[in-house]
């Protein structure tokens, strides 16, 4: 009996054993703050008193102390969850109406919950992407659009994916794209799946207080080599067809290429990522605006996906596509960017125009991550104003947009000391840090039942004594299945979603159809 008890898993793994699989998210009603992973101090004392002696011996004491996280006496979990208004009542504030003033320190529980939720929409891009170079579907989404969230264990997400987004791999970002090794037998030799557009269903819309359109862009999970691919050269947005009243508004050239390039010979990237997202937003804003719904546009992305999120949010607002009337007298849908570990995108004039358009952006960063510090290492928003103005015309002077929420992975007792920069950049690690963040100088206390094991899904960042293997997430048998003749083969995919039939019609309405002739 003592031996059996001594082999019990760490507490958070024992709990996870009766929950959905770790890569599946236990979705709560939207707008509700998730219950804490740890009970209040008094409840913990009584729980510890009932543990078998073998579980409370010295060999597990460090694990228990990590899980308790030394809650402040004045911050019992029940206290944080009590009272408060609903998301439907506060959504404009949470969506950035007031630049998140007063919500970050101390951390507002509703805002934390929403930051994690939008981060999980971005994480879904990673979990659904086929990275396997031995798969003939490498570079595509593993799941059909209609079953996207259910295939990821996110049945309760409350959103319907309306469109997949693709980009051409013919641009100079080789470390971002994935291609199969099997050559001509692949689903596409030119395209990569790069994200999706989704809209909240009726029930979720009622909880949110508005119809929410989500645009999620794929970034990079672990490999940071794409940074070296950046040309670190600013280009006017007007040079790539993005409108601006200020010709001095510029963005990094590689981001602009990824967003606007296309391949007319390819079924999946005959339209640019820009054209795909603009037509879908136009259609959805008109549809739900005509139905009388209040609409919001929420754009999310991690890493390189964050750059696309910021660029596309700017484009949507500059084109007036967040208005049901297409720029007339209709009320504009608020546009907000939820960015995770994103690089700088444009120059100071880009930031100025971004702000003038009323776009809100909150950037969640790990202070030890290098990606948010590039490009623009020498000239950026942090240098003195006189230096910044003098360098404004230089092709390597950049400025972040929005409000920064800086986190520090060294505050989490779950995470190990490491020099691996990919750990510092990992999105699941950022969501873990958000879960434990309560404000500057406050102790790290997990505020929800979000499983810390998710951190090691695509990294080796958790301390070893938690007994969570690194890089543990993979498809069963790596996607192989046994055929009727007994041979092991790759699962076939019946259909890969491409573009809605009305895309060209919508492009014509936007005045962009000529670009596809």
User: Which distant-in-sequence residues (6+ apart) come within 8 Å of 450 by Cβ?
Assistant: 34, 37, 116, 431, 432, 435
10 Å CB burial of residue 489 (0-12, 13-18, 19+) is exposed
Nearest alpha-carbon partner for 346 in 236, 230, 244 = 236
User: Residue 256: which of 244, 273, 277, 280 has the closest Cα?
Assistant: 273
Q: What whole-number distance in Å separates Cα of residue 300 and Cα of residue 427? A: 12
Q: Give residues with Cβ within 8 angstroms of 30, minimum separation 6.
A: 87, 117, 158, 204, 207, 208
From 188, 253, 303, 306, active-site residue: 303
- Structure-token pair, residue 377: 């290492």
Alpha carbon distance 507, 505 (integer Å)? 5
303 is catalytic: yes
CB 428 within 8 A of CB 341: no
Please, which residues have CB within 8 angstroms of residue 451's CB and are 6 or more apart in sequence? 12, 16, 19, 22
Q: Is 302 a catalytic residue?
A: no
Catalytic option among 369, 435, 451, 460: 369
State how far the alpha carbon of 506 is from the alpha carbons of 43, 161, 177, 274, 293, in Å: 58, 19, 28, 13, 21
Cα separation, 249 vs 235, whole angstroms: 8
Q: Give the pairing of strands 211-217 and 191-200.
A: antiparallel
User: Are 450 and 431 in contact, with CB atoms under 8 Å apart?
Assistant: yes
**Is 369 a known active-site residue?**
yes
139 in helix, strand or coil? coil
Q: Residue 140 contacts by C-beta under 8 Å, 6 or more apart in sequence?
A: 129, 130, 187, 188, 191, 192, 193, 493, 496
Residues in Cβ contact with 296 at an 8 Å cutoff, skipping those fewer than 6 apart: 91, 95, 208, 210, 211, 212, 213, 333, 334, 335, 336
Taking the CB of residue 485, how many other CB atoms lie within 10 A of it?
6
Asked whether the beta carbons of 39 and 77 are under 8 A apart, the reply is: yes
Among 95, 302, 400, 425, the active-site one is 425
Residue 164's φ and ψ, nearest 5 degrees, are -95, 150
263 touches 180 (CB < 8 A): no
Catalytic residue numbers read 303, 369, 425
């Amino acid at each position: 009996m003592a031996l059996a008890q001594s082999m019990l898993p760490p507490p958070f793994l024992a709990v996870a054993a009766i929950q959905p699989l770790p890569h599946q998210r236990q979705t709560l009603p939207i707008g509700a703050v998730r219950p804490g992973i740890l009970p209040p101090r008094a409840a913990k004392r009584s729980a510890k008193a009932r543990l078998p002696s073998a579980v409370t011996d010295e060999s597990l004491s460090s694990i228990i102390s990590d899980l308790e996280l030394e809650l402040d006496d004045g911050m019992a979990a029940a206290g944080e969850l009590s009272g408060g208004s609903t998301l439907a009542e506060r959504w404009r504030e949470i969506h950035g109406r007031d630049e998140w003033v007063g919500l970050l320190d101390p951390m507002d529980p509703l805002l934390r919950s929403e930051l994690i939720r939008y981060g999980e929409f971005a994480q879904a891009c990673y979990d659904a992407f086929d990275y396997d170079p031995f798969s003939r579907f490498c570079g595509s989404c593993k799941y059909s659009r209609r079953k996207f969230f259910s295939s990821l264990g996110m049945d309760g997400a409350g959103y319907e994916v309306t469109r997949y987004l693709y980009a051409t791999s013919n641009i100079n970002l080789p470390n971002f794209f994935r291609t199969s090794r099997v050559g001509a037998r692949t689903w596409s030799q030119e395209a990569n799946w790069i994200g999706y557009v989704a809209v909240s269903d009726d029930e979720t819309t009622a909880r949110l207080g508005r119809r929410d359109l989500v645009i999620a862009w794929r970034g990079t999970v672990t490999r940071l080599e794409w940074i070296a691919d950046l040309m670190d050269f600013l280009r006017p947005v007007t040079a790539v067809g993005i409108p601006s009243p200020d010709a001095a508004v510029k963005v990094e050239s590689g981001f602009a290429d990824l967003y606007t390039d296309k391949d007319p010979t390819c079924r999946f990237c005959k339209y640019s990522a820009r054209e795909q997202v603009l037509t879908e937003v136009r259609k959805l804003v008109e549809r739900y605006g005509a139905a009388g719904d209040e609409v919001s546009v929420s754009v999310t992305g991690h890493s390189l996906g964050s750059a696309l999120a910021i660029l596309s949010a700017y484009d949507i607002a500059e084109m007036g596509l967040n208005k049901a009337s297409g720029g007339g007298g209709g009320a504009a849908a608020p546009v907000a960017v939820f960015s995770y570990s994103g690089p700088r995108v444009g120059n100071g004039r880009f930031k100025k125009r971004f702000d003038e358009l009323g776009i809100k952006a909150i950037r969640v960063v790990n202070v030890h991550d290098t990606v948010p510090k590039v490009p623009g290492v020498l000239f950026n928003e942090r240098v003195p104003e006189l230096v910044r103005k003098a360098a404004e015309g230089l092709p390597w002077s950049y400025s972040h947009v929005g409000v920064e929420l800086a986190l520090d992975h060294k505050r989490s007792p779950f995470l190990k000391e490491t020099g691996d920069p990919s750990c510092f950049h990992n999105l699941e690690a950022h969501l873990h840090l958000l879960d434990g963040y309560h404000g500057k100088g406050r102790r790290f206390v997990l505020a929800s039942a979000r499983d810390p094991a998710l951190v090691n899904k695509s990294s080796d960042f958790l301390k070893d004594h938690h007994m969570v293997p690194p890089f543990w997430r993979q498809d069963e048998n790596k996607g192989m299945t046994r055929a009727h003749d007994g041979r092991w083969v790759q699962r076939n995919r019946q259909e890969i979603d491409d573009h809605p039939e009305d895309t060209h019609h919508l492009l014509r309405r936007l005045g962009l159809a000529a670009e596809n002739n």
